[in-house]
Amino acid sequence: MPNKLWRTHPRNYGKDSKECRVCGARQGLITKYEMMTCRRCFREQAPHIGFVKVTYSNNKIINHIQFQPINKQIIIQ
């Protein structure tokens, strides 16, 4: 007999109250800038959002890699 009381009370605070708006995962959540996406969904959507990957060493930029969009029709510049 399954337990019908599993996760029935509201989650209003803490880690369990937040979830990824794309896939619903609760682990690896990026909450900065109120994005509310997990790290896996962020890596998929980063080109469409417009994020650029930059590598620094001794306060100098080594690599400046712009993510390549998966579907170029979606990007509007």
The structure's pTM equals 0.60
Q: Which of 14-18, 30-34, 54-58, 73-77 has the lowest mean pLDDT?
A: 73-77
Q: Are 13 and 7 in contact (CB under 8 A)?
A: no
Q: Residue 62 has what pLDDT?
A: 65
Tokens 């029709």 belong to 73
Instruction: Encode pLDDT of 21-61 as tens digits.
Output: 999 999 999 988 888 999 999 988 888 888 877 777 777 66
Q: Which two tokens stand for residue 49?
A: 């959002």
Q: Are 27 and 6 in contact (CB under 8 A)?
A: no
Q: Are 17 and 40 in contact (CB under 8 A)?
A: no
**What's the pLDDT band for 74 if we cut at 50, 70, 90?**
very low
The class of domain 17-66 in CATH terms is few secondary structures
* Per-domain residue ranges of the chain: 17-66
Q: Residue 64 has what pLDDT?
A: 60
Q: Residue 2 has what pLDDT?
A: 66
Q: How far is the C-alpha of 73 from the C-alpha of 70, rounded, in Å?
A: 9
